[in-house]
Structure 1
Amino acid sequence: MPVTTSARGGAAPLLGTPRRGGAAPLHAALRAMAAEIHSRPQSRRPVLLSKVEGHQDAVSAALLIPKEDGVITAGEDRTIRVWLKRDSGQYWPSIYHTMASPCSAMAYHHDSRRIFVGQDNGAVMEFHISEDFNKMNFVKTYPAHQNRVSAITFCLASEWLISTGHDKCISWMCTRSGSMLGRHYFTSWASCLQYDHETQHAFVGDYSGQITLLKLEQNTCSVITTLKGHEGSITSLWWDPVQRLLFSGASDHSIIMWDIGGRKGRTLLLQGHHDKVQAICYIQLTRQLVSCSADGGIAVWNMDISREEAPQWLESDSCQKCEQPFFWNIKQMWDTKTIGLRQHHCRKCGQAVCGKCSTKRSSYPIMGFEFQVRVCDSCFESIKDEDRTSLATFHEGKHNISHMSMDISRGLMVTCGSDRIVKIWDMTPVVGCSLATGFSSR
């Protein structure tokens, strides 16, 4: 799968070396903990703690409330709900608010207890939640977009509200005045967003499969670079500011890790899902990536190992193994009096090969291929049994997943989707967050 980066500007601080203190290796104790986590048997799986039901349509977003047994949800049924865990162990709504338009995206800032809800009509509404989570007051409406809002993030330091939408733009607004600071338009629907608060860089994924990196200023912005590698629309992004890694999930069922801080164009491909990747979350301390797909698949990827880059696919007019012509190579077909063959590619070496020279299939997890893919016969012979050992664990969420978020300090995850159900999971058996951070999962 070809991966390219096209630069449109000079180097920015974001593309430099990792942040001070963040790039240092984990100390020995944490390394030992991480090693213990990665060596756990694959029989361990996420534990379903609770189901939250009540929405009358698809749930667009669900966010866990830090340090509380609570979850905030927003749905296509035009409602925002705050659910708190009662003595019975069940979650019941303490806040129920109806909006004018279906809710499509949400962001929550816990320290200031502010909720920002994007809607299908393009508006973003801000609310403030009381300290006991029993009351929610309207603050203001932001005319952010002309079409459905796809993603929102809030930066307290600058008091900026940044959002993307199906009107093909990213907008950033001042939450003090409510005024629009700037907009930038793309050629396709903007589908997802990540923001680096320290450097004011935004990553925007769109429906064309492209990721654009922008530097946002007070009233303008500049395009730094464009990342191309997916064969489908970008559905999710995750930015790790410590290691300066960007993860992208797409409708082509794959995930790509972009090493932004390394400045060498290094990318890693991860293929293990059988449907479009809807949400991703990178756990920096344990070097694990959690991803969820539309078919309910939950994957936990071990990123604490030295993985190999998938090769660029080579182009040739004839098989690079047996030299038989491909069907468009009319001259060689005429000269050799042979029928042209279809071109394939070996996923391990990237060579262009015919079907006869690539009859074998194999997984190759070190390169991100968790299920069997086409390899040429010579590469198949070079793959040892230990090379096929999985570097990820796969679990079943047993419901359609369109959105996921995690409380990493407690090892909790919440998923939601078109089945109107919200599920809360204990992920510590498979990611060990509480072990690495010192927090209890309860």
Structure 2
Amino acid sequence: MAAEIHSRPQSSRPVLLSKIEGHQDAVTAALLIPKEDGVITASEDRTIRVWLKRDSGQYWPSIYHTMASPCSAMAYHHDSRRIFVGQDNGAVMEFHVSEDFNKMNFIKTYPAHQNRVTAIIFSLATEWVISTGHDKCVSWMCTRSGNMLGRHFSTSWTSCLQYDFDTQYAFVGDCSGQISLLKLEQSSCSVITTLKGHEGSVACLWWDPIQRLLFSGASDNSVIMWDIGGRKGRTLLLQGHHDRVQSLCYLQLTRQLVSCSSDGGIAVWNMDVSREEAPQWLESDSCQKCEQPFFWNIKQMWDTKTLGLRQWESPRNDTDTWLTLEQHEGQRCSPPRRG
């Protein structure tokens, strides 16, 4: 349960400061308590724990609560000290934490979903709790009455959620690789647009309301930045992870994006650096930049004497063809996607 505390790093590279141990299964959420030396965690081991830093410099659980079902998602609102926990059985439970963070009282249960809850957001202004789940729907409920206000169903599992509190727009990622922009009303919902760009299921989203940028991470090992506020459809593709991206956090003060992948990799992206915009995917048999045919376009390869490369020039080595394919498939020449 104790945490190792190290001195703060002097270099620009990330350095481990502390490590909290104690859960018996995967940790599904870990949230810092603002203005406190504390962390709230939820886990598949069915427990919610509040960890406070003691005089010894170690973190110990001041609250240990066991749920009826594995905890799959969590949201915390610091001003009202309310915790919302989504569970594997589809329910969302609300708790209130005492001022000293040593006691947690149950408030109510929301029948949000028919399957695992994947994300939760609480809006104090509207008194809504918004959630997504593996039942392919987005739900929003009134925290005053506990009643369901509305639901929007997707064609696949909804996996992640972000919300703009000023406009009541919700960004919903799903397992098909799409991101839906929804306008939530008191009892209705309208689809504004759908963002398409990922080749795998969208695992995480992060919305920056100041610059109006949306970041998405997916199982295709990539991160995409969507310039929503620019209104020009500008996107940036960030590649560097070797496994699926599962968590994102944008630091507004330093303009840095932190992304984590399932292989334990952590990447820090400097978003002030000028980057080339990601090309739009188009249906074509040739590269958009170099105009060379792709390997499935046999006729044009034959006509332009580029079939296999080896038949028309002396090969440098046995990897010539693979280098060409890798060049296109790696998007160095901005290739279109084959349907």
Change (3 A) 1:103 1:340: same
Which stretches in structure 1 are left out of the alignment for 5+ residues? 1-41, 343-353, 363-371, 377-442
Work out the CA distance in 2 between the residues paired with 1:325 and 1:360: 11
Q: Structure 1, residues 51-71: CA drift from partner, whole Å, max 9, x if none?
A: 111111111111111111111
- Select 1:188's aligned residue among 156, 161, 173: 156
Corresponding residue for residue 171 of structure 2: 203
Counterpart residue type for residue 29 of structure 2: A
Q: Structure 1, residues 144-203: CA drift from partner, whole Å, max 9, x if none?
A: 000000000000010000000000000000000000000000001000000001100000
Q: Structure 1, residues 376-405: CA drift from partner, whole Å, max 9, x if none?
A: 6xxxxxxxxxxxxxxxxxxxxxxxxxxxxx
Corresponding residue for residue 316 of structure 1: 285
| SS of structure 2 residue aligned to 1:232 | coil
Work out the CA distance in 2 between the residues paired with 1:279 and 1:115: 20
Q: Report if aligned partners of 1:205, 1:212 keep a CA contact under 8 Å in 2.
A: yes
Q: Report if aligned partners of 2:182, 2:189 keep a CA contact under 8 Å in 1.
A: yes
- Select 1:302's aligned residue among 259, 263, 270: 270
Q: Does 1:75 align with 2:31?
A: no
Counterpart residue type for residue 316 of structure 1: D
Which stretches in structure 2 are left out of the alignment for 5+ residues? 1-9, 310-319, 334-339
Change (3 A) 1:327 1:126: closer
Work out the CA distance in 2 between the residues paired with 1:196 and 1:375: 34
Work out the CA distance in 1 between the residues paired with 2:134 and 2:198: 20
Q: Report if aligned partners of 1:116, 1:124 keep a CA contact under 8 Å in 2.
A: yes
Q: Number of paired residues?
A: 313
Change (3 A) 1:181 1:44: same
Counterpart residue type for residue 197 of structure 2: G
**TM-score, normalised to structure 2's length?**
0.85
* Shift in Å, 1:44: 2.7
Corresponding residue for residue 220 of structure 2: 252
| SS of structure 2 residue aligned to 1:311 | coil
* Shift in Å, 1:355: 3.5
Q: Report if aligned partners of 1:215, 1:221 keep a CA contact under 8 Å in 2.
A: yes
| SS of structure 2 residue aligned to 1:52 | coil
* Shift in Å, 1:277: 0.8
* Shift in Å, 1:83: 0.8
Q: Report if aligned partners of 2:139, 2:148 keep a CA contact under 8 Å in 1.
A: yes
Listed as ranges, the matches of 1:38-437 within 5 Å are 44-312=12-280, 315-316=284-285, 326-330=295-299, 333=302, 340-341=307-308, 355=321, 358=324, 373=330, 375=332
Q: More helix by proportion, 1 or 2?
A: 1
* Shift in Å, 1:374: 6.5
Work out the CA distance in 2 between the residues paired with 1:309 and 1:228: 15
| SS of structure 2 residue aligned to 1:77 | coil
Work out the CA distance in 2 between the residues paired with 1:323 and 1:57: 50
Structure number with the bigger relative contact order (C-alpha 8 A, sep ≥ 6) is: 1
Q: Structure 1, residues 193-236: CA drift from partner, whole Å, max 9, x if none?
A: 00001100000000000000000000000000000000000010
Counterpart residue type for residue 116 of structure 2: R
Change (3 A) 1:325 1:258: closer
| SS of structure 2 residue aligned to 1:225 | strand
* Shift in Å, 1:320: 7.9
Work out the CA distance in 2 between the residues paired with 1:48 and 1:128: 31
Q: Structure 1, residues 230-255: CA drift from partner, whole Å, max 9, x if none?
A: 00000100111111111000011100
State, as a whole percentage, how many aligned pairs show the same letter. Answer: 77
Change (3 A) 1:286 1:65: same
Q: Report if aligned partners of 1:317, 1:329 keep a CA contact under 8 Å in 2.
A: no
**TM-score, normalised to structure 1's length?**
0.66
Q: Report if aligned partners of 1:235, 1:279 keep a CA contact under 8 Å in 2.
A: yes
* Shift in Å, 1:292: 1.0
Q: Report if aligned partners of 1:148, 1:166 keep a CA contact under 8 Å in 2.
A: yes
Q: Report if aligned partners of 1:86, 1:92 keep a CA contact under 8 Å in 2.
A: yes
| SS of structure 2 residue aligned to 1:273 | coil
| SS of structure 2 residue aligned to 1:50 | coil
